[in-house]
A and B are shown apart, each in its own frame.
Chain A
């Protein structure tokens, strides 16, 4: 079983829809949770960064972390065609020493928002 599981989709929604992307994980040591966005033929870029459980909002994007259920989500409100990309969840234990900064990624979800 992978440490981080993410539904690869693909997910296709109409413009203006609310999108929900999810990941589950098995390693209870994970404390830092991130969502990266990757456009076609580009490198991933950080979209959201959260620590421990709770919600974080940034414009149309909301990240939720439920450590008790080992479940994280990314919500996109009023989705736009420019949101079409692959979304990758990533997690880190955040311990000190040489392991600090090591990320474990989900498989990525391909999202298409059509006009």
Chain B
């Protein structure tokens, strides 16, 4: 099992450009999450999907959109990137034990 996979691993954007971060899990989990991690800030929830067909805002949703494409895939889109969105982005999934989240390897995004 690959667990949680994320693409791309690294990305550099210019201000105003758009991009989509991809995430997939092969653990048959219902719930999926997108976080951003900044120095000294821990992990902050951007959006989550409790089950296929539902999405909800987390702590820092502004500037982002998400799509739960199917049970396996959950994408995060930046429509118009800003330097404040420079961060490391993690996707995670969880099964019946909600607090036990499994994380992907992360995407390092730099917005110039």
Binding site for B on A (CB under 8 A): 4, 6, 8, 32, 34, 41-46, 49, 88, 90, 92, 94, 97-98, 100-103, 105-108
A43-B50 contact in complex given A100-B98, A101-B31, A105-B42, C-beta closer than 8 Å: no
Binding site for A on B (CB under 8 A): 4, 31, 33, 40-45, 48, 50, 54, 56, 58, 90, 92, 94, 97-106
Summarize B's interface: helix, strand, loop or mixed.
strand
- In angstroms, Cα B42 to Cα A6, docked, is 9
Residues B101 and A98 in contact, CB atoms below 8 Å apart: no
A88-B31 contact in complex given A94-B99, A100-B50, C-beta closer than 8 Å: no
- In angstroms, Cα B37 to Cα A88, docked, is 12
- Contacts of A46 on B, CB cut-off 8 Å? 100-102
Contact of A106 among B31, B42, B48, B97 (CB under 8 A): B42
- In angstroms, Cα B103 to Cα A42, docked, is 9
Residues A42 and B40 in contact, CB atoms below 8 Å apart: no
B103 to chain A, nearest CB (A): 3
Residues B42 and A107 in contact, CB atoms below 8 Å apart: yes
B32 to chain A, nearest CB (A): 10
- In angstroms, Cα B41 to Cα A110, docked, is 13
- Contacts of A44 on B, CB cut-off 8 Å? 43, 90, 103
Task: For A34, give the chain B residue with the smallest CB separation.
Answer: B99
Residues A8 and B98 in contact, CB atoms below 8 Å apart: no
A34-B100 contact in complex given A43-B105, A101-B94, C-beta closer than 8 Å: yes
Residues A43 and B104 in contact, CB atoms below 8 Å apart: yes
- Contacts of B44 on A, CB cut-off 8 Å? 105
Contact of B100 among A49, A98, A102 (CB under 8 A): A49
Besides A44-B43, A105-B42, 12 other CB < 8 A contacts? A32-B99, A43-B90, A43-B105, A44-B103, A94-B98, A98-B56, A101-B33, A101-B48, A101-B99, A103-B43, A103-B101, A107-B42
